[in-house]
Structures are given as structure tokens and as C-alpha cells.
Chains A and B, each alone.
Chain A
């Protein structure tokens, strides 16, 4: 089924946050810190700036909103929305300026004269862990915010394993780059006794919760509306300081206020994703069967903890899935999340799984090289087998269903048929990566890992209209996922109603039941389940009406193709709905006193999240002189259970793959040793465009989850997980004749050449020794 939301975007009639005009609205621009670590000595403001310039002192009644964590010893620091006396990353907000237009607000920012005393900068994980005494927080004894660990007991394996392979693998920091930046618009509505906050967010109810805490309002007093949202990817699933500032100042000034993030702000203050370092040791037998993984993971958590995820979410997620889709009997991991003078680490599409997949999959290739076998064959030997499902991994996670080896075999088959002709002088290589992904994360999982603000349930309201059309109201927000289509399809599946007679209202706390939002590949599972549950209730009611009118038992009425069929008669949903609304006298007075509008809730059976999985394969051509990499072919075979809309599933996978290719080959937010961001425009921050992207070929299998309605599994994030690993494994396959191996992404020419030069240096050193 084609998407129902397309028409408005194709005709320029979408309504994004920047498109909303409220009479009397003023624009906000921010003075942001130009320094990574400094004490704010003073801020000179123009004499006539009263009521137009605001600093932390003006928001003293706004409360901090620290995210909750149950991880023992986790040191959480919530960012003050406006910096108090100290700024801890370039781009941290120091003052807010208000003017009739953004240009004038920026002019006002230019007139402010802050005076700083520079402080020593912690610009990297290594800086954070060095023993030179520099601290981000004066009262901490080091710069480590969170440490976690797990040990299944692997000493015996270590003592006996014939093969030991060690690698250090780095994934760079990057920005998430939704094409529409963040934005927020707020005003006080006297009529509703309510603060109305339009925000370009994935999680309206979550933002409402946090804003109420910050502003000391009851939840009935804030309505958060997400209009059309131009891409999220996790960036818009967290509370942003701008949301608090604009909301607070709208109340303080009594004026509608708006802030729209520009690209410079995004690439500097928003350079907040990934940046992991994995020290991986695999212990294997001499056929490459991995017996244990011993890992140490360090993540750069940036300066503060974002709400609600904290800065520890990447480390927790990565360490929970680092053994991948493999049957590995021993696992030990230590994680540390350090604080640095960088923007706070935030959850980007597939949160940490691209890093974990990169780490285990490059390690798997290294094991294969060490035992002299084909990496794909070594994988097949190590993968969890279909007959072992449901499989309890050593991490405690339950992989619910699927055939991982068959998935990889299909990817191998497809890539074998793909283009394989490099230009003269280039090296050809093929690489694989396979993952399993916990989608629609459950309440117990979230509670177990210690982030209680993201529970695994959803609700949906279904309002039967008098003419038999149906209004669905959900709290999640659709920003590209096509839920206006898929949720109507689900209602149609349950009620037999035409999808064109269903409308989805979403992303508005004023219209929908409570929700935690669109993230974690959860909407089709959780909200889809809730829509089905609400429609089940509607179905019971419609059958009851029809049974009275047809003089039969409700159990003898069946819903098919929008018709209510009884033993002797048939009526439409519209006739039943119309009778109840407009001709109640035709029904006994006790029929449906509780109405034809319902709310349904949903949690997967046993509170279990389904595991989607995929195998990817890439063929690259590498120029050994220049270090450039060209993707010749890319294959992704995924299994997300039942596909409600195969076209949309393809779109999610393709878009994810290209973001993953960005992580693997192009995207990086480097900082210099003073914590200055070095990629501040799209000229320095390289995104994959159509020209760098190969023709991506897809295939699917459909193994239904035993735990979810319709057997669905989430698919929104998965595409982004495997590409960094698949691409680097392909590059390393190409570099094999040179004895070179790359262990970091993005695989920029500089890094590829670095790997080649290192190999040359090693060869020369070996030669010296043999002399």
C-alpha cells in the first residue's frame, strides 16, 4: 500500500515547526560558548537589553531535570539550560536573546560581551583518563561517570583456548543530522490555562513530563505538539535545553517565542553521537569457534547526562549485545563512560549497536584470519542455530526467533552475484556483518538496565465516528516511518475497514493517550499492538450493536471487509455506527452505555521485546595509493517478522543502510585538543549522497515473533547497525595482500592509508629483524 502522508509533502503543504506562525511571535537566538571549558567571569549586556536578553540568573526558578539511573555509582549531572558560572563544551548556551526576527535576535547576541577565564580542556577519552589531575567536575576524583561490568567466568577458557585475537576498534563521534534541525515554539494559552509547546520532537509526552518538572507545572498544564518532523534519528528523542529555555521565557515574557536550530548549531552543540572504543579479545579453538569474548568498552559521554537516557546508555546497550548473534559460552566486559568537554552523548539510531556490531564483526574477521578460514564460514559455525530458538544469550537476552545462518547464506549468495570489477590498480574486497537487535525494548529490560523513564508499553485511542469512519489517536510521532499508513492498515486488518476511512492523529499530548514516543524500533510493535487492541474493543461493540439489530448472538456476527455478517443478515460498519449515534431508540437502552470510543493498551507477551536481525555484505574497491574506497555493491537481508507494509520496510532498511555507510565511510565530528569542533559545515562534515551510495539490494525473510501481535518486530533502526562493520571487513579483505588491517571508522582515505603505512612499517621492521 502506498503512503497516505505523501501528498502533503509532495505539494509543499507539510507543516513543520518553522512553518508555524503565531501572532506576536518573537524569535530567539542564543549566545553559545566559544570555548570548551571556561569560567564565565561576566557578561556585559547593552543598557537597553532589559527584557530582551536572559541569562541563568533569569531562570533561577527553573529546576534541573536529572535523568534517573539505577546503575550503582552512576554520577549524573544534568545540564543547566543556561550555563551558570562555567561552560563545559563549545556550543553550550550562555544567554538567550529575543527579537522580532532571527536576524535581529542574532544581532543582539553579537552585542553581548562575555568574559571568560579559560580552564584546562578534556578533549578526548585519553585526556579524561590521563592522570594529570584535570577534572571536569571539581568534586570528582576522576572523570569517569559510570562503570559497569559482567563476567560469566572465563578464566578456564582463557587458560586453554588455542587461539587468542586482540583488536582495538574505534568508532568516531558524529552528528545525527536530521535534515530539519530541532525547533521549539511556546506560548501560554489563557483559554486552556496551558503552556502550548510545539516541538520538533519524537516524544511529545516525554518532553511534557520533563518540562513540567523543570517549570513546576502540572502535566495538565502543558500541551506538547510535534508537528511534521523532518527526521529524528534519536536527536529529537531527548530533552533539549532549548525546549526548557523557550518554554520558560514564553511564560516569563508572556509572548509566543520560537527557536529554530541552524546547521552550525547542530554540527557543533549537536555533535553528540557514537564515539566508542572497544578493546576486544576473542578466545577461539583452532577452527575459529569463539569460546569467549573479553572486552573493555570506553565511551565519550560528553559533558552532561541527557534526559532521559543519561550518558551511560551507549555503554549499557553495547555491552548487552556485544556477543552479537553468536553462540558464545564465555563473556567478560568492563565499560567506562568518561566525561569530556564535548556535547552530551545522545542516542543515535540503533544506539550503540553499530559500535557493538563493528567490534564483534571485525573481531570475527580477525579470528577467521588467525585460523586461516573464510570469515563467512567461521560466522556460520558460530551463529545461534534456528533450532536453538528461543535462545538465551550469555548476556541474559532472549533471542526469540529466526534463522541467522540462513540469513547470512542468502547475503553471501546475493553478493556473489554482484558487481566485482574494480578499476585498474584498485584492490577488491568483500566483507560481511550480521547482527541481532532487541527491538521495541520491554519494560523489564529498560528497568533492568536502569533507565526507568522509557517503559515498554503503548496506548491508542480508537474513536468510531457516526459515519463508520475511524479516528485513531496515538502518542507516538510519525516522522518518516509512514505510520499514518501502517496504523490504518492495522485497523483495517482488525476491523475490515477500508484504510481510507481511517485517520491517525499523532504526536500531540492534547489529543492522545500517554505514550513514551517513537524510538527504539518500537512503534510498529507497541503502537501497532495498541491500535489492534483498541480496534478489538471496537469490534466487540460493533458486533453487539449488529447482534441486536439482527436478532442473533454477538458471537455469530463476523467482521469482514467492513461488513458485519450475521446468520441471516449483513450490515455495514457505518450502519451500525450510525444506528448507535443517531437512532439509539432502535437499540435496547443497555447497549453500549460506555460508548464507541475506546483506549487500548499493549505490551508484548511476557514483556519480551522481539529480536530483528539482518546480514549485510559489501564489495569495495580500494585505491592503495590514495586510500579512497568505492562501494561497488551492498546487500542487506533482513528479518523483521511480519512486514505490515513491505515498501515502508524497504525504505527503513535502505535509509538506515545509507546512514550506516555514513558512519562507516564519511561522517565524523572531530575536535582539536582544545575541544574545538572541526566539522562545522557540510563542507567539513561529509554526508553520503546519491553519488557515493551504491545500488543497495535487499531481501527479506519473515520469521514471526512468538511474542508480538501479528508477529511483527521493529525495523526502524536496524539498517544502520551493520554497514560500518561490513564496509571495514570488505576494506580489510581488499587490503589483505598488503598485510594491512583497518580498525577504525569512518574509513577515510587518511585512515586507510594509515593502515597501509603501518603494515609497510611492520614489514620493514620484520625485515630488519630477519637481517
Chain B
């Protein structure tokens, strides 16, 4: 067993873990944060994306033991964050989700794109999203929602 101390959604967590436990399973099974979804478990689909110290990472290929001292934000952890609130509103209004399974990872990725880029064009946004698979929407709504939130940033 390994000792792990980290911050998850603003809450300090210290616990013993099995060294082979990945971050996604740690969040889901040990902390009951079921909003983080597993789509492929090999880092290719993006559904499990969470923020680690503000950067999007794949929680399925991140070992929990490597997360000592970091700050993790999952979909449950944004509270009244103004950007996440705008993203959620835009996702709903642009029909950026259907089954909802990829949505937590998409939101984390979108949060990063909108925070980081000021004037991306359509192709740049799509390239930034290329690590996240949505099987339902055809991506149009997701791209539009991101575009809208970037436009609101400079408005």
C-alpha cells in the first residue's frame, strides 16, 4: 500500500492506496465521484479527462500514486465557477450532448480550451478537441459551445 495525499475538488484527502490503482478508479470507487467516466481505459477517448493543477489529464492512465500533492478538479468540483457555468449553459443551448457519457471529459477539455486560447478559429478548436471522442453529437454543438464561450470572454 502507498500513502496518498492530494486535494480533490477543494477537499484534502489522505489515504492508503494499492499502487496499481489508477486515478479514475480512485475518484470513482474510493471517493464516489462517479461523474468521471471511463470510455477506453487507454487514454484515447478523453471521457475520463479531469483537471490536475488546472491542466487537463487522462485519469485512466494516471496512476493515483503519482498524484501526491496535486489538486484535482472533477466535474463535480466546479461549484459556481463562472466559466464552467457559461460552458454548461452553452452546451445545453447548442445541443452539445446526447447520451451524456463523454460530457464530463468534454467539459474539462472545453474549460481548458476556453481558458487558454483567445482567438482560435474553427480548425484550431477542432484540433484541440481531437483527443475527445463523442459518439452521439457529431461535434457541431460542442464546437459551437466552445466558440461562444470564447467570444463571451472577449465581449
Contact A231 B126 (CB under 8 A): no
Chain B interface: which of A116-124, A523-531, A593-601, A684-692?
A: A684-692
Which residues of chain B have C-beta atoms less than 8 A from A231's C-beta?
A: 98-99, 101, 135-136
B141 to chain A, nearest CB (A): 7
**Contact yes or no, A10 B92, CB < 8 A:** yes
Q: Are B136 and A180 in contact (CB under 8 A)?
A: no
Q: Is the CB of B138 within 8 A of A655?
A: yes
Whole-angstrom distance between the alpha carbons of A278 and B32 in the complex? 50
List the A side residues contacting B53 at CB < 8 Å. none
6 interchain pairs (CB within 8 A)? A11-B76, A12-B75, A19-B28, A228-B100, A480-B100, A655-B98
CB nearest neighbor in B for A682: B44
Are the CB atoms of B130 and A655 closer together than 8 Å?
no
Are A263 and B34 in contact, with the CB atoms below 8 A?
A: no
Residue contact B38 to A18, C-beta cutoff 8 Å: yes
A residues within 8 Å of B by Cβ?
A: 2-3, 5-16, 18-19, 21, 101, 103, 177-180, 228-231, 233, 262-263, 479-482, 647-648, 650-651, 654-659, 681-683, 687, 689-693, 695-696, 719
Query: For residue A681, which residues in chain B have a CB less than 8 angstroms away from its CB?
Result: 40, 42, 44
In the complex, whether B104 has a CB less than 8 A from a CB of chain A is yes
Which residues of B30-48 have CB atoms within 8 Å of chain A's CB atoms? 32-42, 44-45, 47
Q: Decide if B92 touches A6 in the complex (CB within 8 Å).
A: yes
The answer, yes or no, to whether B137 is at the interface (CB within 8 Å) is yes
Main secondary structure on A side of the interface with B: loop
Chain A residues with CB under 8 Å of B102's CB are 179
Contact B135 A178 (CB under 8 A): yes
Q: Is B153 an interface residue (CB 8 A)?
A: no
A233 vs B98: C-alpha distance in the bound complex, in angstroms?
13
**Which residue, A8, A233, A263, has most C-beta atoms of chain B within 10 A?**
A263
In Å, the complex CA distance between A719 and B92 comes to 22
Q: Are A691 and B127 closer than 8 Å at their CB atoms?
A: yes
Residues from chain A with Cβ under 8 Å of B83 in the complex: none
Report the separation of the CA atoms of residues A263 and B60 in the bound assembly, to the nearest whole angstrom. Answer: 12
Interface check B122, CB cutoff 8 A: yes
What residues of A have a CB within 8 angstroms of the CB of B127 in the complex?
A: 691
| Known contacts A689-B130, A690-B143: A180-B76 contact under CB 8 Å | no
Q: Which B120-145 residues sit within 8 Å CB-CB of chain A?
A: 122, 125-127, 129-143
B68 within 8 Å of A (CB atoms)? no
Given A16-B37, A230-B37, A654-B140, A480 and B95 touching (CB < 8 A)?
no
The answer to the question of B107 belonging to the interface, with a C-beta cut-off of 8 Å to chain A, is: yes
Whether B99 lies near A654 (C-beta < 8 A) is: no
Closest chain-B Cβ to A690's Cβ sits at a distance in Å of 4
Compute how far the CA of A15 lies from the CA of B98 in the bound complex, rounded to whole angstroms. 14
Within 8 A of A (CB), among B45-93: 45, 47, 74-76, 88, 91-93
State in angstroms the CA–CA spacing of A11 and B36 once bound together.
11
Check A263–B137 contact: CB distance below 8 A: no
Besides A654-B139, A659-B135, A696-B138, 8 other A-B contacts (C-beta < 8 A)? A9-B103, A14-B103, A263-B39, A482-B98, A650-B95, A682-B45, A687-B135, A689-B132
> A254 vs B140: C-alpha distance in the bound complex, in angstroms?
47
Q: Give the CA-CA distance A7 to B85 in the complex, in Å.
A: 11
B141: chain A residues within 8 A (beta carbon) = 651, 654
9 tightest A-B CB contacts, nearest first: A12-B35, A9-B100, A230-B101, A654-B138, A480-B98, A12-B75, A682-B44, A480-B99, A691-B130
Q: With a 10 A CB-CB cut-off, give which of B42, B131, B132, B142 has the most chain A CB atoms.
A: B42
- Contact B99–A695 (Cβ < 8 Å): no
Inter-chain contact A693/B139, CB cutoff 8 Å: yes
